[in-house]
Amino acid sequence: MTDGFDMSEYLDVFLQEADDQLLTLEENMVKLEQEDAPQDVLQAIFRAAHTLKGASASMGFTQLAEVTHILENVLDALRNEQIKTSTDLVDATFKALDCMRALKEEAAQGVQGTVPDEVIQDTLTSLKTILAESQGDRMEAQEAGGGPVGMELAAHDMETISEAVERGYNVFQVHIKLKEGCPLKGIRAALIVNDMNDHGEVVKTAPPSEDLEEERFDHEFVALTVTQSTETEIMESVKKLAEIDEVSVEAVKADEVVAAQDKADDEAAEAADAAEAAVAAAAEEAGDPDVKPAAAAADAPAQQAQGGPSRQVATVRVNVEQLDNLMNYVAELVIDRTMLEQIRASLAQQRGTQDDIVARLEESVSGIRRRTTELQEEIMKARLLPIANVFNRFPRMVRDLAKKAGKEIDFQVSGGETELDRSVLEFIADPLIHILRNAVDHGIEPPDVREEAGKPRKGAVDLNARHEENHIVIEVTDDGRGIDPEKVKAAAIRRGQLTEEVAARMSRREVYDLIFAPGTSTADQITDVSGRGVGMDIVKTNIERLNGQIDIQSQVGVGTTMAVRLPLTLAIIQALMVSSRQRIYAIPLSAVEETERRPRSDVDTVRGRETITVRDKVIPLIDLSGALSYSREVPPPEESDQLYIVVVSVGEKLAGLIVDRLVGEQEVVIKSLGKFIGEIHGISGATILGDGTVALIVDVGALLNRVVDEIQQPALA
């Protein structure tokens, strides 16, 4: 570490960066094994290792830097085709990844020595063994070189240079080596460039200046500068700056620059040609002359050959809290807008709608209305993240599971770009892990069994995500043995969950529901039963907690698809607004089966509880306000002959909520009632209505649990 330099404030940034790089490594390492290691994968993975090495070294995490460094060497050898991918290699790189994770965690916790030395040594040895395969000692060469420092010049750079040379300026290539582990090297580099700019003009740097700023370089860089100063003057000036290890200044002859330029041009042209050919081929194949997307894709390699930065979407990291604040401000704006509308209305009453001021007010109010709606939508979108954030860890997991279970599996992931709210994202990983594990452990048969059944030895497991209206649908499909309803029934009967008669009458769907019943979850039972169900009850509970649904489709011998349907966000739900005793409530629409208007005479009393028959089912009735118990009772409205009943369900439990009035359907933003109020039975949160008042959100599950248990439910659904 550098003398007394306080690193703590950079730690967060480092950790975040490290997480990103580790994820990139993991994502791409899995691909190493699958495909024949395409160059872009190798590049991505190498770059990630390289960046992480630099960052950890500069933060003083030497062990992490060391492991990453050797890994980088392996990847470099791979990239340069000195070694080939093998299971050993992938295993070794994964081992390194685990080790790096552990070391990163150490860094995050601010502790040391939790990762045993043997583990680190073992990791290093496995990597070095792989490296030993590569002939020669290029590793050393790579070390000394410290990364490519080639320089490619664009046409306008060339013009600047040749003009400078004509006018008698000097052109120097300045090679700077910062001290190893120097902190804030991005800023150092900027200072050095600035210093050279005092003497002349830095035309170009390698790596490019934005990479320098963002510390995307090892500890060396090259700057091409046009100046009136001499070599020594530049050298002396730069050397005065801190944290510099070595400086060398070399004069550049104009013809060299030109030659270099020609070479770069050639490469670019080659890439462009290849790209064009690809476009042409694609066009031919598609039989469509208008091939815009392909052409866009073809731009990328050409650009890369130019040494330009690969295309990136400009993004910034934003704290979630800030987004939440933004949401709140928008909500407040909506309230202000409502007030403005009221003012407009009373003004219109006084002056008439034809009045000029009233009309202008109306115009701006409706402008504000549109803007606030747009603003709200944009902020909601900003909270969305691609599901790839969760999917990314699965290829590795499936690989490991398959290896452990002695299965061969081809795991395909699609739809990773599908976006959903981060609040949902946090909670779906676990259910998906369960489902995938089931597919691997119990769905896919061992290779020999598959072969006997006339299936390919390699089982297929597909993970797919897509949007459907306001939902995201995630499907896990396997081509394994499928679920045998008879076996599931037999097991349920054995456990006393069912009688034979009930079982005989069950539909396939009802049988599948058994899989989610608690008790189906002990492993040995599952394996003889259906080959499914490890913790499936937990999966279902978790998904329902997110206002989602899970659906199974399966065919014996062909395979199984589990489809999870989730709302895009937890922060917003569709709700049925109802009024009870002058209070407005939001009932999540996902729990609402139907609404009924029934004469009071339809109500029966069963064991002291009011019930009603809806679609041949006797369901208990719950008076919404009564069930919540307020300290201030509001008398019910005068007895009317008609009752409004909202039929709600959670799982197979049904009940009817008696309300005074249906207000309508609306999207509501869920908010917490806060620590002070705490948990309220039957209320899951609150929401702010358009007029700025607060409505409570009904926790249907809690209300039902308490009431339904008291009454005999008709035969299990």
Partner 1 sequence: MDELAVLDDVELMGDGEQVVSFRIGDEILAVGVDTVYEIVRMREVTEVPQVPSYVHGVINLRGHIIPVINLRNRLGLEEVEETRSTRIIVVELGGESIGMVVDAVDEVVTVPTDAISPPSPVLISIDTDFVRGIARLEDRLIILLDVLKVTQFGAEGDGEEKPEALPAGDAAAAPAIEGGDEA
Applying CB under 8 A, the residues found at the interface with partner 1 are: 327-332, 335, 339, 583, 628-632, 671-678, 680-683, 686, 688, 692-696
**710 touches 619 (CB < 8 A):** no
Exposure string of 61-99, with b = 16+ CB inside 10 Å and e = fewer, is bebbbbbbbbbbbbbbbbbeebbebeeebbebbbbbbeb
Tokens of 650: 């959670």
* Nearer to partner 1 (CB atom), residue 20 or residue 378: 378
Phi, psi torsion values for 673, nearest 5 degrees: -80, -5
Tokens of 479: 């081509």
- Residues 6 or more apart whose CB falls under 8 angstroms from that of 709 comprise none
Residue pointed to by tokens 């002396």:
236
Closest approach of partner 1 to the CB of residue 337, in Å: 13
Q: How many CB atoms lie within 10 A of CB 589?
A: 15
Closest approach of partner 1 to the CB of residue 372, in Å: 12
Tokens of 417: 């770009």
Reduce the DSSP state of residue 644 to 3 states and report it.
strand
Cα–Cα distance, 683 to 672 (Å, whole number): 10
* Nearer to partner 1 (CB atom), residue 369 or residue 583: 583
* 73 in active site: no
Tokens of 507: 């539909």
369-378 — which CB contacts under 8 Å span 24+ positions?
369/337, 372/330, 372/333, 372/334, 372/337, 375/330, 375/333, 376/327, 376/330, 376/334
* Nearer to partner 1 (CB atom), residue 4 or residue 678: 678
Tokens of 431: 């259910």
* Nearer to partner 1 (CB atom), residue 241 or residue 688: 688
**185 touches 164 (CB < 8 A):** no
Reduce the DSSP state of residue 632 to 3 states and report it.
coil
Reduce the DSSP state of residue 651 to 3 states and report it.
coil
Element (H, E) at 209: helix 209-213
* 9 in active site: no
Reduce the DSSP state of residue 671 to 3 states and report it.
strand
Q: Which of 28, 73, 392, 438 is catalytic?
A: 438
Q: Which of 17, 27, 72, 215 is catalytic?
A: 72
Pairing of strands 694-698, 592-599: unpaired
Helices (H), ranges, 214-319: 231-239, 254-286, 292-305
**198 touches 236 (CB < 8 A):** no
- Residues 6 or more apart whose CB falls under 8 angstroms from that of 123 comprise 67, 92, 95, 96, 99
Cα–Cα distance, 178 to 246 (Å, whole number): 7
Tokens of 419: 């976006």
Cα–Cα distance, 466 to 484 (Å, whole number): 28
Closest approach of partner 1 to the CB of residue 421, in Å: 18
Phi, psi torsion values for 523, nearest 5 degrees: -60, -45
* Nearer to partner 1 (CB atom), residue 214 or residue 633: 633
- Residues 6 or more apart whose CB falls under 8 angstroms from that of 236 comprise none
Closest approach of partner 1 to the CB of residue 58, in Å: 36
Closest approach of partner 1 to the CB of residue 336, in Å: 9
Cα–Cα distance, 536 to 470 (Å, whole number): 25
Closest approach of partner 1 to the CB of residue 470, in Å: 22
* 471 in active site: no
**632 touches 682 (CB < 8 A):** no
* Nearer to partner 1 (CB atom), residue 268 or residue 670: 670
**162 touches 254 (CB < 8 A):** yes
Cα–Cα distance, 376 to 335 (Å, whole number): 13
Reduce the DSSP state of residue 490 to 3 states and report it.
helix
* Nearer to partner 1 (CB atom), residue 308 or residue 626: 626
Q: Which of 6, 15, 10 is nearest to 64 (CA)?
A: 15
Closest approach of partner 1 to the CB of residue 677, in Å: 5
Closest approach of partner 1 to the CB of residue 339, in Å: 7
Q: Which of 250, 227, 243, 240 is nearest to 177 (CA)?
A: 243
* Nearer to partner 1 (CB atom), residue 447 or residue 692: 692
Closest approach of partner 1 to the CB of residue 345, in Å: 16
Closest approach of partner 1 to the CB of residue 363, in Å: 21
Q: Per DSSP, what are the bridge partners of residue 419?
A: 386
* Nearer to partner 1 (CB atom), residue 235 or residue 673: 673
Closest approach of partner 1 to the CB of residue 325, in Å: 8
Closest approach of partner 1 to the CB of residue 592, in Å: 21
Cα–Cα distance, 475 to 462 (Å, whole number): 8
Tokens of 408: 């061969």
Cα–Cα distance, 53 to 65 (Å, whole number): 5
Q: Which of 50, 199, 219, 434 is catalytic?
A: 50
Residues annotated as catalytic (active site), given as ranges = 50, 72, 438
